[in-house]
Every structure is written in C-alpha cells, then in structure tokens.
Structure 1
Amino acid sequence: MIIDNDLLSMQQARILAENACAAQKALALFPQERLDEIVERIVLAVTPHLGELAKLSCTETDGGLWQDKLVKNGFVCTNVFERLGAVRCVGVIAEDRANGLMDVGVPLGVIAAACPSTSPVSTTIYLTLIAIKSGNAIVFTPHPRAEKSMKRVLDIMIPAAHEAGLPEGCLTYLDTVTRSGSLELMNHPCVSLLLVSGVPGLLEAARSTGKPVIYGGTGNGPAFIERTADIVRAVRDILASKTFDNGMAPSAEQSIVVDGCVEREVVQALEENGAYFMTEVQSLALAEHFFCPLGKRRKGTMGVSASVLASRAGFSVPDGTRVLVARRKYVADNDPYSRELLAPVLALYVEDDWMHACEKCIELLLHEKNAHTLSIHSQDEEVIRQFALKKPVGRLLVNTPAAFGGMGATTNLFPSMTLGSGSAGRGITADNVSPMNLVYVRKIGRGVRDGESLLGSARPADVRPANFGSVERSDNEFHGTDQLHLLERILKEAIKTIR
C-alpha cells in the first residue's frame, strides 16, 4: 500500500487541532490550583528520565554535550518549576480594591508549537509546563532532526498529565511529521497562537498565517568588553557561556567587541583560557566548512567541539583548545563570521572606544535581523546605561555569561528556554517567554466617579443641546440649515481651488 505522508500528516493536524480545541474548553474552567497540580505531576514523571533524554537528544542530533543538555533539562524541572509555583496566570491575578480594579487572566486557547533541534527536550518540557500552567492546549510539531527525542519526552508527559486530570487532547503531537502537516496545523482555525522556538525555517510561514507568533530565536549576539571591565572574569564568563553545549545555547555570545585600549589584555586572557586564534587562511577554511558557496548552512556543524571543527577544516589546534577565534574588521554580507555560528567559534572585533563599539554591536545585532541578546562587561554605569538605551535588542546582560544570564540562571530574568527576539516583526514579544505570554488580561474597572458631574464640568455653558438648529433662531443664531449652507459654500470654494 502506498501511503502519502503529506496527506496523512495534514489529516492528523486537522484532527489534533479540533480535538485540542474541544478539550481546551474544559481545561479553561480549571482553577489555577488544579492546573498547578497537573504541572507538578508532569515534572515528577519526567524527572527520573532526564539523563536518558539528554543522551538520546545528543545522539540523535549529533551535536552538543549530553551533560550540558542534562543541565538544561534539570534547570526546567527545578528552577523553572519553582518559579512557576509563584505565578498566577488564570482567574483573578491581581486586585486593587481601593481603586476598584481587577485583572483576570484568560487562556488564549490552542497553541501550535515547534521546538529547536538544539534543545529539543528541555524546550518541549518547558513549553508543556507553561501552556498547561496558563490553561492552554498545546500541539507540538516535532523537529525532523529531533523527532525521537521530542516524541519520547512527550510520551512520558502525556500519560502523567492525563492521570492528573488533564483533558485528553490538550497535550499532543504530530506523529507523522512533514512540512505540509506543520503548515496545516499552524493555519488551522482552531489554533490561536503559534510558538516557534528556534526553527527559523518556519518563521515566514508562521507569520503568513495572520495569527500572533511568539518567535524564540537565537542571534548574532555580541559581547562588549569595555576598558573598565574585570578582563579575566569577563573572558572566563564568555568562554564558559560559549562552550556550554558546544555553543548551542540560544543567548550565547557569537562575537566579542573589544575596547581598543585593553585589546592586549583580552587576547592574553583568551589564550590563557583555551582560545585559539586562527590565521586568516584557517578562518576561511573553517568558514567554508560552515557554509556553502551560496551561503546556505552545511549540516553537521552545530554543536561540534573546537578540535573537531579544526580537524575538519584541515588544521590542528593544541590540546585543551576550547574556542576558535577569528579576527575580523567589518560586518559584511560576504563574511561568514558576521553570521550566527552555533558552535564554539567567536569573531573578535577591536574598536577605538565604547561609542564605536556601540555602533559595531548594532551592526552585528541587525545583520541577520535577530537582535536577540547583547552582553556587556563594564564597571562604568553610564556606558552600561547608554548601551541599554540605544541597542535594538531583546535583552541586555551585564557582567554575566550570556548563555546562563539569558535563560535566567545567573540573572533574575524569568527562567525560560524560549527567548523572544528584539527585532520588529519577528514575533509579538521580546520577553523571556513565560505563561503570562500565553494569556490575555481582562481588565475590570468599577465606577468611582459620577458621570453626570464629569459631563457637566466638561461642557461649556453656551453649548447647545442635541436639537440645536431645530428651534427658532434669534438674531445672532444660525439654524441648522444655515450651518449646512455655510459648509456647502466652503466645500465648493475648496473644490474650485483644487481644480
């Protein structure tokens, strides 16, 4: 029997969306406490499998380090879970009795979600938790390169959620994965919101649906080391961030911009901490390994260690090399190092002062229109303030490793595995995506002032009532018809002038 997987996937998408819509209507009636119980049961069910899932995702995607993927999985099931417990996002979420105000959180409905191959397990768990926490149904379309990992973690969570009382159909996934099925799901009228996390290939299709899109991407995020920074600490932070999961964390640094007067100290600290500075020939050879001549990214380059990348590019590096560094001068379309490299590779730019560095950072942020994350290492509060005010970016991280600060591990940002982009048009939020991004807030306001007195104080004493023009005129008044004649004359004169 010949099976058309495209048609099968599209049919599954329709069924899943319709079932999710019906199930979510029941879920929308659940109080916050009951939703929290389901979330807790899911976390308890998946936690014993986190190591197995980390190894599976690393093997399947052939990128990253399973130990670091385990850290991300554990972060969601501990730090994120703890933070979610303090959030109310459905029902009455805020009340100001003194001023007669109340906020009510209302679920959006059915969410269609796509997760990245870089963090398939942790992102799937995270989106499941925040969707159910906020009373929404969620239907996943697994990433083709991480299909086994995503299906495995969902197969663990779904039965646990049902046993805890989640209506069947509220947490599901597309079993036959094709692009046609994903597009059918996103376009289905039962779907209210699209959540595209780290899958740029689906972004344009998602935006064309006319539905609200939350886009959690990565980006060419620079790190600026300013002259007042603690140089050694800054370099260690950057390398710890860039080597985490072999450079695949969503907010990890992609380049370093250095204040010219501290260039020598920065280079020395980088070399002492495992950075290898490539020659221009080596840089070009490595770039060819990442991208085809027409600019398309080659497969098998994400999340690969520095030594393996160097070997594939035809040169060797000393033992203990953690990161490959390419010196660059300009941000250009034909320079691969101006693009996002999800690997332990960094571009290094040197600028005369912080103002020129500021401009370089803006160029890098806007080059691929992601404007995701920027980090700065400085002790000068005025420089930090200027960067905060002027950079077109979703988040600015100060004196912290960007991979960890962006996800809220070393900062007090909301702990999240889906980080919004700051570029206009890429999505509806630049937040660290939380359950509050999956509800709308209904505003309730009680009357506290008298309407008649407000109208009376606002209306001038000589303003005529609504029937003005229908009463007899006095010598100094116009009839309503006289007013119309006057307007008619003015319009005729205007038309003559135009002609």
Structure 2
Amino acid sequence: MNVFDEELVVDELMARARAAQAKFEAGGSQARYDRAAQAAAWAIMEPGRNRDLAELAVRSTGLGNVADKITKNHRKTLGLMRDIRNAQTFGIVSDDPETGITTIMRPIGVIGAVVPSTNPAATPANNIINALKGGNAIILSPSPKGVACCERLLDYIHAEFDKIGEDHALVQMIPPPGGKAKTQRLLETADLAIVTGSQDNVRRAYSSGTPAIGVGAGNVTVIIDETADLSEAAEKIAASKTFDNATSCSSENALVVVDEIYDAFLGALEAHGGAIVEKADAGAIVSKLWVDGHLNREVIGRDADVLVKALGLAGSVAADTCFIAIETAGIGPEHPLSGEKLSRVVAVYRARDFAHAEALAREILEHQGAGHSLGIHTSDTQRPVDLARRMPTCRVIVNQAHCFATGGAFDNGLPFSLSMGCGSWGGNSIDDNLHWRHFVQRARVVRQISPREPSVEEIFGDYWNEAGK
C-alpha cells in the first residue's frame, strides 16, 4: 500500500468519525455523554472482559503481568469514572450577570490518540472515556504490539454501544497494519492530537499543525532522606517498582539516598525483596541490560525470575528476589543506569546530605525525565515544598508508592490518568495529568455591561508613591 492509499484509509475513518460526532453533538445531552462514557468504562471493567484484555495484553506485547494489568484496568477506570462523575461537559456551565458572560461547554470534535503498548487497554480506554464524556469521537493509533488488545477493547465497547444505541463510528482505530504514514495523517486531520508513549510521536504531533497534547518521558527519581520511615519507604518502593513489571512511566528508576541512612535503607530494600548489586559489579549488569545501546527486550517488562536469569544473577541472589537495586554514581548518556529502564531494576545513588541528594536528583532529571515527577520519603514537611519550588518537575510525590500515586490514587487528589503532562521542562503543552478538561472547549456569549474603566491614578498610585512618576 502506497502513502496515498494509507492516507485514504485514515481519511475514510475520519469522515465516518466526523459524521458520527456531528450527530452525537446535535442530539447531545449530559445524560447521553455520561451514558456513552459509562458504556466504554464497563467494556473494560466487566471482570471477564478485563481478564481477557489483560491476558491478551501480556500475550501480545510480552510486557507486564496479568494480575497487575487486571488491577490497573479496574482501578484506573474506576478512578476516572469517579473523577468525571459530576463534571459538566454539556450546555451552559456559568452565567455571570456581573461580567455579562455566559459560558457554554462544547466538544472539540474528533480526537486522534496515539497509544503505547505498555498499557494497550488502560490507556486507550482512558482516552475513549474522556473523549465521549466531552461529546467527541475518537480514532486510535495503537503501537504494533498493542493492535490486538485495542481491537478487542473496541469490540467490547461497540457491544456496549449496541445496548444504548450509539454509533460504532464514535470510537474507531487505524486498522492493521499501522505505520508512520497513517499515524501522521491522523495527527494532521484530527481536531486534537493526544500522544502517550514514543517521544518521536510526541514531536510529530506538536509539528503536525493540529492542536496537540503530548506527554514527556518518565525517569522517576526518588529521594530518601534521613528523616524517612525506612521500612515503610522500602515497602512502598518495592510494591511500586514491581507493579506490572515496571512498565509504567511512573515506576521508580533512581533512588537517591542520604548517607546517614544509606546502609540501613539498603537493608530495608533487601527485607522487601530487593537484591543489592554493588557498584563494582554494576558493569556486568549494564552489559546485559543494554545490548548494542538498546534496552534488552528479554528483560523489559518481564517477571523477576526471567530478569534475574537474563542478567546472569541466578544463584547469586535470593530465590525470592523481586527487583534488582544497583549501586551507581554516574549520570548522563555514558551512564545508562541513570535513565529509564522499563524493568524491575532501580539505580541507587549515595548522597552526602540532603543538599547533595537534591543536586543528584536534579542532574538525573535534567538528563532524562524533566517535568514528569519526583518522589521523596521524608518526615520533613518543608522539603517537598522546597523541591516543588526549585526542581524541574510538575509533581512531587510525598511518602507514596510512586507508580500508584502519580497517575492519581484514591488517597491523593491527582486526577486518575495514564498520561502525565510535563510542562515546559518536558517540552509539553500541559503540566497536569491528562483529564476530562482537556477534551472540551468553551464558547462564550458576551453581553455589554456598565463600563468598569479605572483611572490611571487607581492603577499606578501605589507605584508612584514608591518609585515616583
């Protein structure tokens, strides 16, 4: 198939989506949008279908594990539905006599969403639900490994649509085989492009000429200071680092530990399933973790026993090892352990004190992961605030399992999402978690009101008193 034919395939999808969205909006109501979002959510949350999607995701991508994907599909979707339950996305949302402005919420149109293989059901479901909640249609471009799971998800959604009389064309995907030409055409012709995953795709979205929301690279760094509850911190890090075999962009990749509690903390990591690899032995691990400059596909997103064997550690670490913690010092392109590892491997840095820990964390984030998030385990209430004021990050996660907290949790206030905006530090147009508000736009009726023009003296009086005219 030549490029013209590939573009024609996308154009036909887009025409169907536009027709369906126009009818969806013309006959829209808050109840209808909510019902469509519920249909998509139940398509993935129904226990039998959830398990089927989780099993298919692991089987087709080779990433993660079934139990954790079931948990992720359920909790991420349930949390999203909680977040959007009372959100008004249709009709008049405000009518202010003082300003004379009436604000009406409107759909954006057709969303083009590029989704990764790491979460081939949860991420597209999240985008679909948000799109429908706002009265939009959506077309997905899954990664090659995620195609089968995305197809199955859409089958389930369309089955739910049949129950409520909605048009299948509201939720479509680029049919296999995909490819850059089709994805590029989708980015160029959609009303809004949303990209999670490949930074190459993010850059292409921003340069496509379409309004775009892309999210930055993850490389989570977590500081453990001398005031932390070490056992609790280690337990949370272990749970987060091993969840879905570390496929999440919010999985801890570097631990920066203050010298005063360094040895005690390594002991706590061991008590919670971590195997410590000393700095002198790190080179042998690196050579197996990266092959020809690329992460070894035999270890990405794999179970602990597969990882241990692939890294040549079988017999030298405890049989119940859940993750590998490698002592290291270097940061930057020549030190791959300082970057994202997408596996049950975490780098450990020793800091002289908290100031040094902050400096190391900054250097790691500036190498990779700027804007995404930073974690800290501490009893000091001021340090997290200071980090948020000084560090290149949009989120400072305090005393939490990072993977569970960054994308929203039932015990913190962040919106449930699988896509984290990284602000200017990460080259993104948003600095918060992707959520329903990004899928709608507002129209305003502007009426004339009594003039509110101030005098020049009212505006500049204080300044003149201080600085003179």
Instruction: Tell me the TM-score normalised to structure 1 length.
Output: 0.85
- What is the aligned partner in structure 2 of residue 301 from structure 1? 299
Structure 2 residue 6 is the aligned partner of structure 1 residue 9: yes
AA paired with 2:90?
V
The correspondence of residues 8-407 of structure 1 with structure 2, limited to 5 A, is: 8-29=5-26, 30-48=28-46, 49-97=49-97, 100-161=100-161, 163-176=163-176, 177-188=178-189, 191-280=190-279, 282-293=281-292, 295-316=293-314, 317-407=317-407
SS at the partner of 2:185?
helix
Q: Quick one: distance in 1 between partners of 2:2 and 2:60? A: 22
- After TM superposition, the structure 1 stretch with the greater mean CA deviation from structure 2, 170-179 or 127-136, is 170-179
The higher radius of gyration belongs to 1
Deviations for 1:32-69, whole angstroms, at most 9, x for unmatched residues? 22100111223334433001111110111112111000
- Ranges of 4+ aligned residues in structure 1 off by more than 6 Å: none
The offset of 1:371, in angstroms, is: 2.8
SS at the partner of 1:379?
coil
SS at the partner of 1:236?
helix
Q: Quick one: distance in 1 between partners of 2:298 and 2:116? A: 15
Residues 115 and 123, structure 2, Cα contact 8 Å, conserved in 1? yes
CA separation of 1:396 and 1:89: change in aligned 2, threshold 3 A: farther
- What is the aligned partner in structure 1 of residue 440 from structure 2? 439
CA separation of 1:382 and 1:280: change in aligned 2, threshold 3 A: closer
Q: Quick one: distance in 1 between partners of 2:284 and 2:2? A: 40
- After TM superposition, the structure 1 stretch with the greater mean CA deviation from structure 2, 438-447 or 28-37, is 438-447
Deviations for 1:7-28, whole angstroms, at most 9, x for unmatched residues? 5433211111222223222223
Q: Quick one: distance in 1 between partners of 2:16 and 2:320? A: 53
Q: Quick one: distance in 2 between partners of 1:219 and 1:423? A: 14
CA separation of 1:73 and 1:277: change in aligned 2, threshold 3 A: same
CA separation of 1:61 and 1:106: change in aligned 2, threshold 3 A: same
Deviations for 1:398-436, whole angstroms, at most 9, x for unmatched residues? 111111111212411111122222344632112111110
* Identity score, percent: 27
AA paired with 1:243?
T
Deviations for 1:126-163, whole angstroms, at most 9, x for unmatched residues? 11100010111110012101111111111111242354
Q: Quick one: distance in 1 between partners of 2:195 and 2:215? A: 6
Residues 195 and 213, structure 1, Cα contact 8 Å, conserved in 2? yes
Q: Quick one: distance in 2 between partners of 1:271 and 1:46? A: 36
Query: How many aligned positions are there?
Result: 450
CA separation of 1:458 and 1:434: change in aligned 2, threshold 3 A: same
CA separation of 1:319 and 1:107: change in aligned 2, threshold 3 A: same
AA paired with 1:196?
V
Q: Quick one: distance in 2 between partners of 1:94 and 1:254? A: 44
SS at the partner of 2:204?
helix
AA paired with 1:182?
T
Q: Quick one: distance in 1 between partners of 2:370 and 2:383? A: 23
CA RMSD, 1 decimal: 2.2
Residues 26 and 167, structure 1, Cα contact 8 Å, conserved in 2? no
Instruction: Tell me the TM-score normalised to structure 2 length.
Output: 0.90
SS at the partner of 2:341?
coil
Q: Quick one: distance in 1 between partners of 2:397 and 2:353? A: 20
The offset of 1:198, in angstroms, is: 1.7
Deviations for 1:193-237, whole angstroms, at most 9, x for unmatched residues? 111112334222222213222223441110111111111111111
- What are structure 1's unaligned runs of at least 5 residues? 460-499
SS at the partner of 1:340?
coil
SS at the partner of 1:346?
strand
CA separation of 1:156 and 1:237: change in aligned 2, threshold 3 A: same
The correspondence of residues 418-433 of structure 1 with structure 2, limited to 5 A, is: 418-424=419-425, 426-433=427-434
SS at the partner of 2:169?
coil
Q: Quick one: distance in 2 between partners of 1:60 and 1:47? A: 20
